[in-house]
Amino acid sequence: MSPTITRTATWPDLRLMTFGFACIGTLLANAPAFGESHETIIVSHGYNEYEALKYSPADAHLDYVNPDAPTGGDFSLATIGTFDSMNPYSTGVGTPGALSSVMYQDMMIPSLDEVGSTYCLLCETLEYPESQDWVIFNLREDVVFSDGTPMTAADILFSFELLKEQGTPSYATFVEQTIASAELLDDYRLKFTFVDGIPRRSLIAVVGGLPAFPKHWYEETGARLDKSRLEIGPGTGEYMLDSVDVGRQVVYKRNPDYWGKDHYLQKGVGNYDTMRIEYFGDSSAAFEAFKAGTVTFRRENSSINWATLYDFPALDNEWVVKTTLPSGALPSARGFIFNMKNEKLQNRSLRRAIGMMFNFTWTNENLQYGLFTQREAFWENERLKAVGVPEGRELELLEPFRDQLPAEIFTEEAALPHESGQRPLDRRNLRTALALMAEAGYTPGTDGKLRDANGALLEIEFIEDSQAMDRIVLPYIENLKTLGVSITYNRIDPAQYQNRTQTKNFEMRDAAYSVGLVEGSGLSQRFGCEDRDDVFNDAGYCNPVVDALAEDLLNVETYVELAAHVRAIDRIMRYDYFMIPVWTLSDHWVAYYDFYEHPDNLPPFSLGHLDLWWINQDKLADLKSAGALR
């Protein structure tokens, strides 16, 4: 189905348009023009760069929800660490409470069973020319903040200006480079015009992701987005803050006057009366709280816990469900990263030598119970992952940069993790690592410690904030010491860890990059030279060829072309070896007390436990009667 098309010559005519709802579909690239002042205007309830939209406002609800899900009850979850702020948008200042952004909604939200589709939530429609030189959002007139104040276009414009002024530096840079102007057209319409001469891909979706901050609250309180604070402004979401016990607990409650309860995107969504987050000092205490029924839902992220600790009375009594649910989401790119801004770590041979000492095979079989597979690529997806030697369109994309890239990029298969044996220390890899260290200028002395030509020790610090990682990282640290690296493993508290990682004050650490099935401007934020200091560019990585390919990616018109760009980038980044690939998992490990229920057809791209699940009150009453819950 085609999008609604309107041809017009002047802005006043647009104000009189009757907006239709239809799938965005294939743009009419050959539509006739009627003169220079006329444009082909596309009007839709959603946006997808490549595919037709699956849903329409005429639909009763999304396919992956239970529209008749009962509401009520208390959802409870444990988390580790502490918090001293309820401002989720500050970076480097304070540690925000878990789920502290749950009160805020964006103008458009993604579908969880489509690739690249976003739909109007706070808006009725968006309109834009085929050139995508600008976009207008026509906002709903029934949206209200939790304090009863109506949301208007002025709030969205205020949010944009606030994020530009007080948000992350990378956001301000993005705005400066991409958005020429933002203006109110009336109380419920606002227009964003993009900078001339830049790629348009993903810009509409990015701007559509603007949240709604309450302008009146910020003006009345003087609150800032870049400061730590416990006061929190009203939002348009179905939940609002109930109570805060700093460092111990946060409780959110349903907004009884939530404006969107009958919206087709919100049917069957947000089914709990309250969501309670309990804080614990370590993972052991959090697990004990789950066993005792103090918290009732758990997403497990520890293989040893999953394999060995789920043997307790509540499970034996069948009060607790332990299950594995499939995930169709692209797994994060996890590994041990190097700070590429550190001078000694800029040597690729040195980084490869350090990576050779990680033994995935032994780690997985002996410490992770064989539950994981070894990660090979940044994008673990058959369409996006580089394989073999470059060919076809991927080779064409790389060819113009032949003189800037190592010859191996063109002649060798895409870099894969090294293979390891069944013993903790793989002697073959140790010999390879010593040879690589020699290439990097480090040789072992009589004491076995690696030194450079001036006799300086090769000293490296590996920082971590998770106790659960000790058992994984410590054997690797011992292997590095055997190699001759003077390495220190330093587990620090979460607040210090956050500060050091955000300021790039580290040498090695565990990290996980979020990667997408559809990549856009965010790719440069995570892996681009201009954003080396950004909090999202964890390793401070920079390669001008990756920058060029990421910029060109913004001009592609088909998903096939996008995939070719991503494969080329994946190939280069894997060769550059700024991350030691570790493991990946394609399932959700979940355990919960048997009063939670979920739709049979959970969406592929989310577990949905915060949004789509619900509580069976009869089952809850039975468990309480049996003494299963406190």
Report yes or no: 535 and 491 within 8 Å, Cβ to Cβ: no
pLDDT (0 to 100) of residue 535? 85
Whether pLDDT at 20 is above 60? no
Rounded Cα distance between 387 and 397, Å, is: 15
Residue 586: pLDDT band (50, 70, 90) is confident
Flag whether pLDDT at 22 surpasses 50.
no
Predicted confidence (pLDDT) per residue in 200-223, tens digit: 878 999 999 999 999 999 999 999
* pLDDT for the residue numbered 259: 98
Residue 312 has what pLDDT?
Answer: 95
The count of domains in the chain is 1
Torsion of CA 547, 553, 555, 556, to 10 degrees: 160
What integer pLDDT is reported at residue 272 of this predicted model?
A: 98
Kindly list the distances between the CA atom of residue 583 and the CA atoms of 358, 394, 417, in Å, as whole numbers in the listed order. 11, 26, 10
For 532, counting Cβ atoms within 10 Å of its Cβ (0-12 exposed, 13-18 middle, 19+ buried), the class is middle
Cα gap 109→70, rounded to integer Å: 23
Flag whether 523 is in a domain: yes
Q: Which domain holds residue 412?
A: 333-584
Q: Has residue 295 been placed in a domain?
A: no
How confident is the model at residue 494, as a pLDDT?
85
Q: Which pLDDT score, from 0 to 100, does residue 35 have?
A: 35
pLDDT in tens, 284-325: 999 999 999 999 999 998 888 999 999 999 999 999 999 999
Per the domain annotation, does 389 fall within a domain? Answer: yes
Does the pLDDT of residue 32 top 70, yes or no? no
User: Does some domain include residue 533?
Assistant: yes
Task: Point out the least confidently predicted range of 171-180, 333-342, 503-512, 588-597.
Answer: 171-180
Question: 173 pLDDT band (50/70/90 cuts)?
Answer: confident
pLDDT mean across residues, the chain: 91
User: Is the distance from CB of 568 to CB of 398 less than 8 angstroms?
Assistant: yes
For residues 132-148, average pLDDT: 97
Q: Which of 287, 305, 284, 303 is nearest to 295 (CA)?
A: 287
Residue whose C-alpha is closest to residue 506's, from 514, 498, 516: 498
Tell me how far apart the alpha carbons of residues 594 and 319 are, in angstroms, rounded to a whole number: 6
Residue 410 belongs to some domain of the structure? yes
- DSSP for residue 308: I
**pLDDT (0 to 100) of residue 24:** 29
Q: What is the pLDDT of residues 380-405, one digit of tens each?
A: 999 999 999 999 999 999 999 999 99
What pLDDT is attached to residue 5? 37
Q: For position 169, what pLDDT does the model report? A: 81
Mean local confidence (pLDDT), 418-434: 95
Q: Percent of the chain beyond pLDDT 70?
A: 94
Other CB atoms within 10 Å distance of the CB of residue 256: 10
Q: Residue 130 pLDDT more than 70?
A: yes
DSSP state of 385: S
Q: Is the pLDDT of residue 7 over 90?
A: no
CB contact at 8 A, 366 and 352: no
CB 27 within 8 A of CB 48: no
Q: What is residue 38's predicted lDDT score, i.e. its pLDDT?
A: 66
Tell me the chain's radius of gyration from C-alpha atoms.
26
Judged against a pLDDT cut of 50, whether residue 125 lies above it is answered with: yes
Beta bridge partners of 123: 139
User: Per the domain annotation, does 340 fall within a domain?
Assistant: yes
Q: pLDDT at position 17, please? A: 28
Q: State residue 549's pLDDT score.
A: 97
Q: In this predicted structure, what is the pLDDT of residue 424?
A: 95
pLDDT (mean) for 577-603: 95
Please check whether residue 190 lies inside any domain of the structure.
Answer: no
Domain with residue 405: its CATH number is 3.10.105.10
Cα angle, residue 141 at apex, residues 136 and 146 outer, rounded to 5°:
115
pLDDT of residue 89: 87
Residue 328 pLDDT > 60: yes
Residue 531 counted as domain residue: yes
Q: What is the mean pLDDT of residues 169-177?
A: 85
Q: Residues 583-608: what's their mean pLDDT?
A: 95
